[in-house]
């Protein structure tokens, strides 16, 4: 009696094992309790738009869709995870160059501050703006020792020999469009305020 039971169990197990063998590499074979493998809620990286996908065996009966149908009907292309906004840069990839050298040179030599050279209130306002928008990277005196510079390598030392001769137009353009590793600040700082900051940077350089 015992032996017959064991035999019976053996046949059932062997049958189940055989039945779960896949026919091809793309076929996962028969799955038991498929709802344990396949999430019914939306998953960010799953995007199967075919509503008939799945079968009576592995379908999710509540919504009538196949078990594998896992797309978001409310998003474009039934996507679950939205596409990143245009011009998103992948982590670890270099940032795109925002300015060509020529464009910067033209800006540096042709753009002129609208503020008179002796206007001290421009320097005063420029300091307040610099302290808000630039100090955390470039440091209070421009020496690239802001708190962010600790973690964010490559911040320019504005008192370095290479920068002492840059014009206010040059600085204005760099604030507007960014340069290399530095992001653009054009959308945050008004053009007038960019000129105020540029004036202040030139003053900073003199005081060092």
Tell me which residues touch ligand HEC (CB under 6 A): 133-134, 136-138, 148, 152, 154-156, 158, 163, 171, 174-175, 179-182, 185, 197, 201
Shortest gap between Cβ of 144 and ligand HEC (angstroms)? 8
Shortest gap between Cβ of 96 and ligand HEC (angstroms)? 12
Q: How far apart are CA 53 and CA 69, in angstroms?
A: 6
| CB closer to ligand HEC out of 111 and 137 | 137
Shortest gap between Cβ of 139 and ligand HEC (angstroms)? 10
Two structure tokens written together for 44: 């960010």
| CB closer to ligand HEC out of 69 and 130 | 130
| CB closer to ligand HEC out of 118 and 150 | 150
186 phi and psi, to 5 degrees?
-60, -35
Q: Is 27 in contact with 34 (CB distance < 8 Å)?
A: no
| CB closer to ligand HEC out of 42 and 163 | 163
Rounded (10°) CA dihedral 28, 34, 39, 41: 130
Shortest gap between Cβ of 119 and ligand HEC (angstroms)? 18
Terminal alpha carbon distance of the chain: 99
Shortest gap between Cβ of 66 and ligand HEC (angstroms)? 48
Closest chain position to ligand HEC (CB) = 180
CA nearest to 141, candidates 117, 121, 157, 123: 157
| CB closer to ligand HEC out of 54 and 155 | 155
Q: How far apart are CA 139 and CA 158, in angstroms?
A: 9
């Amino acid at each position: 009696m015992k032996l017959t039971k064991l035999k019976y169990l053996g046949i059932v197990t062997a049958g189940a094992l055989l039945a779960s063998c896949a026919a091809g590499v793309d076929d996962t074979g028969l799955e038991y309790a498929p709802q344990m493998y396949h999430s019914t809620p939306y998953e960010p990286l799953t995007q199967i738009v075919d509503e008939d996908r799945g079968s009576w065996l592995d379908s999710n009966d509540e919504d009538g869709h196949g078990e594998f149908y896992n797309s978001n009907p409310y998003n474009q292309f039934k996507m679950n995870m939205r596409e990143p906004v245009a011009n998103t840069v992948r982590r670890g990839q270099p940032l795109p160059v925002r300015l060509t050298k020529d464009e910067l040179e033209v800006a540096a030599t042709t753009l002129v501050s609208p503020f008179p050279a002796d206007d001290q209130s421009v320097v005063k306002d420029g300091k307040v703006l610099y302290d808000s928008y630039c100090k955390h990277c470039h440091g209070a005196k421009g020496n690239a020792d802001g708190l962010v510079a600790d973690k964010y390598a490559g911040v320019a030392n504005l008192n370095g020999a290479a920068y002492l001769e840059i014009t206010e137009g040059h600085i204005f353009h760099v604030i507007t469009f960014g340069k290399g590793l530095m992001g653009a600040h054009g959308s945050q700082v008004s053009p007038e305020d960019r000129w105020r900051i540029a004036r202040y940077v030139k003053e900073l350089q003199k005081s060092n």
